[in-house]
């Protein structure tokens, strides 16, 4: 049954679903690392907090959709606070200090979540219109998973158009190309990068909310996905939107098919993939500053 086309197609969709989550998560992380030279290990914490805030909003209001909008906004605001209080001061600090401080934040986040929501496993109920399944190639497939895939694609296209077609996008590209020159032409690059940073944090929150009906919500849910997200960033090329998408696609597929065909070796395969990519292209597959 492993090599039946239907089975493979279903796994492919599962891989896309994971890729979609990883993409939403890695965009923000990638931007902070690639554009601002800041290593934020606590990015996964924003994902977890997004899931929990979404959980509360969904429970109190009874609306998944309100959670889907509200939680990312709350996480974006938290990101703004994080930027002002910490990132701005620590941008010039050594990578080791950044890693240590943001590693510490992971534990603070964990305790905050335990304190507020307890040490249990929760789940957000799947929204009514996506609670059913669809017939795909004679199999039933949960329609919510297709929604997750669609949302990931939608965000990718929206970010791509935003970067290529809007004024803010042009300012960001100019700032990435040559920050000093861009500033000397009157562009407020700090502000543009700040907005991009908050957007990236909001997307991590969004990933948390959409993951909640599929994966469970529990203290430490951030750690299980953080490593994969970091690998996506490294493989794709830090700071690159297309890189994050390609990296997320590759890791989503390798992880999903690895778990199915060689569960014992799945994580080894991911690391091997990363090692190979880094050997061949140390800057990642689609680096933001080619050459």
Query: Which one, of 188, 212, 219, lies nearest residue 120 by Cα?
Result: 219
Q: Which stretch binds other proteins (CB under 8 A): 44-52, 135-143, 178-186, 197-205?
A: 178-186
Count the neighbouring beta carbons within 10 Å of the beta carbon of residue 269. 16
Minimum CB distance to other proteins, residue 175 (Å): 9
Contact map string, positions 114 to 153, toward other proteins, x by CB under 8 A: ----------------------------------------
What Å distances lie between residue 113 and 48, 55, 122, 200, CA to CA?
Answer: 9, 12, 12, 21
In this structure, the chain runs to a length of: 291
Of the candidates 180, 263, 279, 280, which one interacts with other proteins according to CB under 8 A? 180
161 binds other proteins (CB under 8 A): no
CB of 53 closer than 8 Å to CB of 75: yes
For the record, the structure tokens of 248 come out as: 């997320």
177 binds other proteins (CB under 8 A): yes
> Backbone phi, then psi, for 62, in 5-degree steps?
75, 10
2 binds other proteins (CB under 8 A): no
For other proteins, the closer of residues 80 and 170 by Cβ is 170
184 binds other proteins (CB under 8 A): yes
Query: Which one, of 81, 84, 80, 98, lies nearest residue 37 by Cα?
Result: 98
Of the candidates 58, 76, 171, 270, which one interacts with other proteins according to CB under 8 A? 171
Count the neighbouring beta carbons within 10 Å of the beta carbon of residue 64. 23
Hey, which residues between 19 and 58 contact other proteins (CB under 8 A)?
none
Contact map string, positions 189 to 208, toward other proteins, x by CB under 8 A: xx------------------
- Quick one: angle between helices 266-280 and 221-236, nearest 10? 30
Minimum CB distance to other proteins, residue 198 (Å): 19
For other proteins, the closer of residues 88 and 173 by Cβ is 173
For other proteins, the closer of residues 168 and 223 by Cβ is 168
Minimum CB distance to other proteins, residue 191 (Å): 9
94 binds other proteins (CB under 8 A): no
Name the one residue in this structure whose structure tokens are 């077609």. 165
176 binds other proteins (CB under 8 A): yes
SS3 category, 122: strand
Q: Which stretch binds other proteins (CB under 8 A): 2-10, 11-19, 165-173, 256-264?
A: 165-173
Q: Which residues contact 34 (CB under 8 A, 6 or more apart)?
A: 233, 237, 238, 239, 240, 288
Of the candidates 170, 195, 214, 269, which one interacts with other proteins according to CB under 8 A? 170
Q: Which stretch binds other proteins (CB under 8 A): 66-74, 75-83, 141-149, 170-178?
A: 170-178
Of the candidates 85, 116, 161, 185, which one interacts with other proteins according to CB under 8 A? 185
CA triplet 249, 206, 114: central angle to 5 degrees? 110
Q: How far is 169 from 23, CA to CA, in rounded Å? A: 19
Query: Which one, of 115, 102, 123, 2, lies nearest residue 59 by Cα?
Result: 123
Residues of this chain that interact with other proteins (CB under 8 A) are 167, 170-171, 173-174, 176-178, 180-190
């Amino acid at each position: 049954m492993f090599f039946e086309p239907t089975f493979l197609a279903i796994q492919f969709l599962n891989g896309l679903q994971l890729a979609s989550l990883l993409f939403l998560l890695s965009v923000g992380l990638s931007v902070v690392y690639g554009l601002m030279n800041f290593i934020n290990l606590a990015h996964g914490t924003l994902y977890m907090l997004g899931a929990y805030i979404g959980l509360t909003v969904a429970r109190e209001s009874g609306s998944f959709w309100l959670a889907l909008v509200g939680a990312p906004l709350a996480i974006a605001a938290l990101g703004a606070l994080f930027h002002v209080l910490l990132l701005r001061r620590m941008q010039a600090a050594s990578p080791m200090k950044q890693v240590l401080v943001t590693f510490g934040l992971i534990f603070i986040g964990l305790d905050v979540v335990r304190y507020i929501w307890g040490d249990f496993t929760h789940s957000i109920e799947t929204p009514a219109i996506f609670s059913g399944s669809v017939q795909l190639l004679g199999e039933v497939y949960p329609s919510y998973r297709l929604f997750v895939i669609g949302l990931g694609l939608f965000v990718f296209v929206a970010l791509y158009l935003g970067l290529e077609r809007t004024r803010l996008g042009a300012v960001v590209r100019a700032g990435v190309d040559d920050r000093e020159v861009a500033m000397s032409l009157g562009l407020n690059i700090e502000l543009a990068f700040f907005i991009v940073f908050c957007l990236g944090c909001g997307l991590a929150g969004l990933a948390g909310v959409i993951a909640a009906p599929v994966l469970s919500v529990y203290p430490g849910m951030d750690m299980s996905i953080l490593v994969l997200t970091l690998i996506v960033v490294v493989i794709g090329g830090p700071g690159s939107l297309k890189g994050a998408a390609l990296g997320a696609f590759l890791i989503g597929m390798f992880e999903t098919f690895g778990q199915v065909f060689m569960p014992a070796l799945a994580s080894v395969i991911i690391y091997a993939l990363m090692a190979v990519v880094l050997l061949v292209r140390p800057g990642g597959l689609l680096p933001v500053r080619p050459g």
